[in-house]
Amino acid sequence: MNYATTIAEQLNLGPRQVEKTIELLEQGATVPFIARYRKEVTGSLNEVQITAIRDLLVKLKELDKRREAILASINDQGKLTPELEKQILAAANMTELEDLYLPYKPKRRTRATMAIERGLEPLANELQKQYSCNISQLAAKYINPDKGVNTAEEALAGARDIIAERVSENAQARNRIRNLFRRSAQLTSKVVKNKEEEADKYESWFDWKENALRAPSHRILALFRGEEEGMLRVHVMPESDDSALEALERQFVSGRYESSEQVRLAVRDGYKRLLQPSIETEFHNLLKEKADKEAIRIFADNLRQLLLASPLGQKRILAIDPGFRTGCKTVCLDAQGQLLHNETIYPFTSVREERAAIAKLEALVEAFHIEAIAIGNGTAGRETEEVVKRCHFKGKVIAVMVSENGASVYSASEVARREFPEYDVTVRGAVSIGRRLMDPLSELVKIDPKSIGVGQYQHDVNQSLLQDSLNDVVVSCVNSVGVELNTASRELLSYVSGIGPALADKIVDYRNRQGAFTSRQELKKVERLGDKAFEQCAGFLRVRESDNPLDRSAVHPERYALVQQMATDAGATVDQLMGDKDLRQKIDINRYVTADCGLPTLQDIMKELDKPGLDPRARFEVFEFDKNISRIEDVKAGMELPGIVTNITAFGAFVDIGVHQDGLVHISQLANRRVNDPSEVVTLHQHVRVKVLDVDLRRRRISLTMKGL
């Protein structure tokens, strides 16, 4: 198979673009590296397109591997004809391939195989010829009590079993029924008898029906979860069998003989007992795959927005992990996120303790020159925020509520134990909250993305696909922002193009032994970091302390000589070129075009010289909840409130309004127009204004709208 041609057709790309991209991938180049530094080679394909090429290439290789195994299996059985081989080689997808293999696939004993063992295959062959004959006399020839065939009817029943299996394994028949399902399959669900009370959360789907292929992903996953839990009976099939049976009878039944009637009975049995359940299972899996992809896409989009959330930057932080009875774990961090001090305050146990907590916070802010306070948004978060607001600090100190999602996972992890072996989980959790405010990306890469809390039905979807997709997102985000080589953690470094966990450990070990890196070039001294790894990673790493100003930018070392030539031609140093906009504007980049360095790369270089190492993330903005509400009981219909988008799903967006219970803005309430995808209107961590539509205290649900606000 010509992979490049096939992929180019499916993705609507140029064959040469795809061919060159495949070559780079096969040579070990990463997606971020290809997208950023090989634009001339790929025709400026972006990360999404390159990832699609990579994934489709893997699928096509798997298809060919399966094709080879099937050919070998059929050949070993001595049943591989030139025509069958041609069909197998031409199969364009796994479904087509498996349909062709089905009649030859080794299988457990079935009614058909048992009938064949009883010597009834010749009878089945005779019946399928459908000519006029006395079938009782014909069947009587196959009576053999030694083989368990005692009557003519038993012989006919066995022959019908063989024909039924042939019908269900016929590639053309399967395709016909598949097309019928595609046109008219309904997704239906019924509550399991006597489970009405237990299944109350699935009440909306106790008697549900809709077109299967139009069903939204979140509903498919909800129904399948109900089925998995034994609460719902879910089916994916046409409402009537008539069309399917009619199509199959047209294909297999001819004439009006007694033998034709036997074939008709076999066709009906084959459809009901074998073919229909098989295609239903196939469509069940198809719907699941479709729903998984959509849920994973939403999860990945949310994760990208979360990782690229605005960083406060290198500030001295006081972080608080709130708690009522157990107190508030409080830590002070320096501008690099290093732990300087920790202790516990108890502002909620008594008035005296509250005063002591306020005095302690004021003293800590003064002693450690704190510039910002990070407060976990979990239990006691809003109450802790109120305590902080009652403090009187000498300088300006901002207080920010920070998402705690995944902080407990981090604090109990091997990563946290390695960072803070002498401290318990409460201290580690508070440190994580503070560091998230400084730089969400650097801190969140230490946590399994599935624990961050921005997914939809994340435990129901294909876990392997989810992990791969989320990993791609983390890699993309880390490399788009760039990483400071001398301060990055092992975890952050491991996501840099071309590095991975093993090399990240080697880099940190080298840094610990030799001190800070003084240049990108020094990376080559790291054990096992060869030329290929250096090529892949160097452009994404920054070395602020380097004498070479380009080491602080995204210009790749392979282009340093080119930039030096530009500076020399302009009669300046590289430093002067980077610092003088007028000087840069005089450069005609067309003069520097070569066979391997075209205008796309030259334009990227000029952007970097203009703003070296520019962080693509938005500027940080302080947000405050409404001061008059802190509990769900305070929320009333009609209130207009500020909020932060915490999660985006296929059916709407969840918004934190500061009462420990996110409200839902249904997709129909996001805007004064039809919205097909909530991400068209909102982004994660966006500051929004919402209006309360309804508060259900019993179920602790808040319905919100953004219409007209």
How many Cα atoms sit within 13 Å of 123 on the Cβ side? 31
616: how many CB neighbours lie within 10 A of its CB? Answer: 9
pTM of the model: 0.87
> What percentage of the chain has pLDDT greater than the value 70?
100
Banded pLDDT at 600 (limits 50, 70, 90): very high
Report phi then psi at 53, rounded to 5: -65, -45
Banded pLDDT at 47 (limits 50, 70, 90): very high
Long-range contacts of 121-126 (CB under 8 A, 24+ apart): 121/162, 123/155, 123/156, 123/158, 123/159, 124/158, 124/159, 124/160, 124/162, 124/163, 124/166, 126/259
Tokens for 513, please give them: 């032994």
DSSP 37-65: H-HHHHTS--HHHHHHHHHHHHHHHHHHH
Give the contacts of 538 (CB within 8 A, at least 6 positions apart): 520, 523, 556, 557
- The answer to whether residues 683 and 645 touch, using CB atoms and an 8 Å cutoff, is yes
Is the model's pLDDT at 190 over the cut of 90? Answer: yes
pLDDT for 431 equals 95
Banded pLDDT at 564 (limits 50, 70, 90): very high
- Classify residue 239 by its DSSP letter: S
CA angle 629, 630, 636 (to 5 degrees): 45
Is the model's pLDDT at 629 over the cut of 90? Answer: no
Mean pLDDT of the chain: 93
Give the contacts of 280 (CB within 8 A, at least 6 positions apart): 181, 235, 236, 237
Place of tokens 């360095």: 597
Give the contacts of 670 (CB within 8 A, at least 6 positions apart): 652, 653, 678, 681, 682, 706, 707
pLDDT for 247 equals 96
Can you give 357-386 as a three-state secondary structure string?
HHHHHHHHHHHCCCCEEEEECCCCHHHHHH
Tell me how far apart the alpha carbons of residues 7 and 60 are, in angstroms, rounded to a whole number. 9
| pLDDT tens sequence across 7-17 | 999 999 999 99
Banded pLDDT at 699 (limits 50, 70, 90): confident
Is the model's pLDDT at 107 over the cut of 90? Answer: no
DSSP 625-680: --TT--SGGG--TT-EEEEEEEEEETTEEEEE-SSSS-EEEEGGGSSSS--S-GGG
Banded pLDDT at 439 (limits 50, 70, 90): very high
Tell me how far apart the alpha carbons of residues 461 and 490 are, in angstroms, rounded to a whole number. 29
Mean pLDDT of 23-45: 96
Place of tokens 């930018």: 553
| pLDDT tens sequence across 250-278 | 999 998 899 999 999 999 999 999 999 99
Mean pLDDT of 79-86: 95
| pLDDT tens sequence across 123-132 | 999 999 999 8
57 closest CA partner among 6, 118, 16: 6
pLDDT for 631 equals 86
Banded pLDDT at 222 (limits 50, 70, 90): very high
In the three-class reduction of DSSP (H, G, I as helix; E, B as strand; rest coil), residue 210 is classed as strand
pLDDT for 50 equals 97
pLDDT for 450 equals 81
Q: Sketch out the chain's domains with CATH numbers.
A: 3-104 (1.10.10.650), 120-302 (1.10.3500.10), 317-438 (3.30.420.140), 632-705 (2.40.50.140)
> What percentage of the chain has pLDDT greater than the value 90?
84
pLDDT for 492 equals 96
Tell me how far apart the alpha carbons of residues 342 and 433 are, in angstroms, rounded to a whole number. 13
Mean pLDDT of 104-119: 93
Is the CA virtual torsion 570, 576, 577, 583 positive or negative?
negative
Is the model's pLDDT at 500 over the cut of 90? Answer: yes
Give the contacts of 210 (CB within 8 A, at least 6 positions apart): 186, 187, 219
Place of tokens 């005779």: 126
Banded pLDDT at 583 (limits 50, 70, 90): very high
Banded pLDDT at 225 (limits 50, 70, 90): very high
Mean pLDDT of 451-462: 80
Is the model's pLDDT at 454 over the cut of 80? Answer: no
Banded pLDDT at 76 (limits 50, 70, 90): very high
Tokens for 65, please give them: 């591997």
Task: Characterize the bridge pairing of strands 640-649 and 652-656.
Answer: antiparallel
pLDDT for 650 equals 86
Tokens for 20, please give them: 């060159």
| pLDDT tens sequence across 423-438 | 999 999 999 999 999 9
Is the CA virtual torsion 207, 211, 212, 218 positive or negative?
negative
DSSP run (H or E) holding 333: strand 328-333
- The answer to whether residues 56 and 34 touch, using CB atoms and an 8 Å cutoff, is no
User: Where is average pLDDT lowest: 38-52, 224-238, 680-694?
Assistant: 680-694
| pLDDT tens sequence across 406-421 | 888 899 999 999 999 9
Tell me how far apart the alpha carbons of residues 709 and 690 are, in angstroms, rounded to a whole number. 7
| pLDDT tens sequence across 193-213 | 999 989 888 999 999 999 999
Tell me how far apart the alpha carbons of residues 364 and 391 are, in angstroms, rounded to a whole number. 11
Bridge partners for 540 per DSSP: none
Tell me how far apart the alpha carbons of residues 468 and 303 are, in angstroms, rounded to a whole number. 13
Banded pLDDT at 618 (limits 50, 70, 90): confident
How many Cα atoms sit within 13 Å of 147 on the Cβ side? 15
Tell me how far apart the alpha carbons of residues 195 and 534 are, in angstroms, rounded to a whole number. 60
Report phi then psi at 126, rounded to 5: -65, -45
In the three-class reduction of DSSP (H, G, I as helix; E, B as strand; rest coil), residue 327 is classed as coil
Is the model's pLDDT at 457 over the cut of 80? Answer: no
pLDDT for 626 equals 87
pLDDT for 698 equals 86
pLDDT for 654 equals 92
Angstrom distances, CA of residue 148 to CA of 115, 117, 484, 485: 10, 10, 78, 78
Q: How many helices (H) and strands (E) does the chain have?
A: 30, 15
Angstrom distances, CA of residue 205 to CA of 168, 189, 198: 32, 6, 14
Is the model's pLDDT at 182 over the cut of 90? Answer: yes
Amino acid at 593: V
pLDDT for 709 equals 84
Mean pLDDT of 376-387: 91
Instruction: Annotate 457-491 with b (16+ C-beta within 10 A) or e (fewer).
Output: bbebbbeeebeebbebbbbbbbbbbbbbbbbbbbb
Tell me how far apart the alpha carbons of residues 218 and 232 are, in angstroms, rounded to a whole number. 16
Tell me how far apart the alpha carbons of residues 59 and 57 are, in angstroms, rounded to a whole number. 5
- The answer to whether residues 433 and 332 touch, using CB atoms and an 8 Å cutoff, is no
| pLDDT tens sequence across 164-174 | 999 999 999 99
